[in-house]
Structure 1
Amino acid sequence: MKYSHEDLKQIGLSCLNLSLRRTSRLVTSYYDIMLKPSGLRITQFTVLAGIAYEKDLSITDLANLTDIDRTTLQRSLEILNRDELIKIEKKDIGNVRSISLTKKGETKLAKAMDLWKQTQELITENLGKSEFKQTLKILAELRNIPVLQIDSVEE
């Protein structure tokens, strides 16, 4: 055996990826529960907010803005389009499509925004304002580590 029981224990105690995934699942579930009265999940809320933030957005632009891979984003967009929260229109040039919110989507986002703000406040209160800000700062720093950039990783 090339690894020990202690090695395996260390994975559970110190693996950054495992810790982030566990935390992400928990935080995502909490946001989903808190946003439930709006009829949106946090992923859908994030996509709608991205569309509202940047006017005349292409799918590629939205994928870059939200850091959601195109396959996952496409599934979300299909649901949002089906529910008439967004409209997707082909642009005159090339194979580019632009995305915008419908009136129904704007209303849904506004309702969800109030719930999102409440959720943010609850998490901030429970974690502490300075710890919350520090956590966001550390996560941003982690995303900017050069070795973690996809382009720098060899397959």
Structure 2
Amino acid sequence: MEEMERMKGLPVLPCACASLRRASRAITQAYDRELRPLGLNTAQFTLLQVMRLAGEMTQGQLGEFLALDITTLSRTLRPLENEGWLECSTGSDRRERYWRITSAGRKVFERSTPAWERAQAELSARVGEKRLKAMLGEMAVIAGAPRTRPTVTRARRGAGI
């Protein structure tokens, strides 16, 4: 986790987006290092993890849950389907696609979970368990914030202050 070590001394960025993307890249690199020997990357592991927990989801639900656009999600799903780790079926509306994890996908997930746990433990050791738990809660709030825009009331012209 060299990246995490270097992050300690990084300056605070004034932009929330830039700060979150920088943290995401550093953390993704650390998780990818653990998962790569198993032939997986973080995005693929995350999809297997979500599908294992969710059971079955439409592609739209999955995209919404992961905050991914359909094109990016399709590009990430295809290799997992080609490996036989996820399977897709069409709903009553032919445009609706339902995804679920296969038994082979469950095995890959179970086999790769220790690598994910190592990356998670390393991050926890570097930032502290309490901070990591708080961060996970905050990230859920932050990820949902752009989807729930507050209503901004503008003062009418000439209304005075």
Whose relative contact order is higher, 1 or 2, with alpha carbons under 8 Å and at least 6 apart? 2
Higher helix share: 1
Specify the code of the residue in structure 2 equivalent to 1:118: R
Cα drift, residue 140 of structure 1: 3.0
Counterpart mapping for 1:118-129 below 5 A: 118-129=118-129
Offset at residue 139 of structure 1 (A): 2.5
Where in structure 2 are the equivalents of 1:134-149 lying within 5 Å? Answer: 134-145=134-145, 148-149=146-147
- The one-letter amino acid paired with 2:93 is G
1:138 Cα deviation after fit: 3.0
Distance in 2, matches of 1:15 and 1:38, equals 35
Give the match's secondary structure for 1:98: strand
1:6-155 mapped onto 2 (5 Å cutoff): 13-91=13-91, 93-95=92-94, 96-145=96-145, 148-149=146-147
My pick for the range that moved more, 12-21 or 38-47, is: 12-21
Distance 1:149 1:66, change over 3 A: closer
Name the aligned partner's letter for residue 134 of structure 1.
A
- The alpha carbon displacement at 1:135 in A equals 2.0
Q: Find the aligned partners of 2:68 and 2:14 in 1 and give their Cα distance.
A: 26
> Amino acid of the residue matched to residue 76 of structure 1?
T
Count of residues in correspondence between the two structures: 140
Q: 2:66 and 2:150 mapped to 1: Cα distance?
A: 21
* C-alpha spacing 1:13/1:48, structure 2 compared with 1 (3 Å): closer
- Identity among equivalent pairs (%): 26
1:51 and 1:13 map into 2 onto residues whose CA distance is: 34
Q: What is the deviation of 1:28?
A: 0.8
- C-alpha displacement at 1:67, in angstroms? 2.1
Deviation at 1:151, TM superposition (A): 5.9
Give the secondary structure class of the aligned counterpart of 1:84.
coil
Q: 1:141 and 1:39, CA in 2 relative to 1: closer, same or farther beyond 3 A? A: same
* Runs of 5+ unmatched residues, structure 1: 1-11
> 2:55 touches 2:101 (CA, 8 Å); kept in 1?
no
SS of residue matched to 1:88? strand
How many Å apart are 1:143 and its aligned residue? 3.1
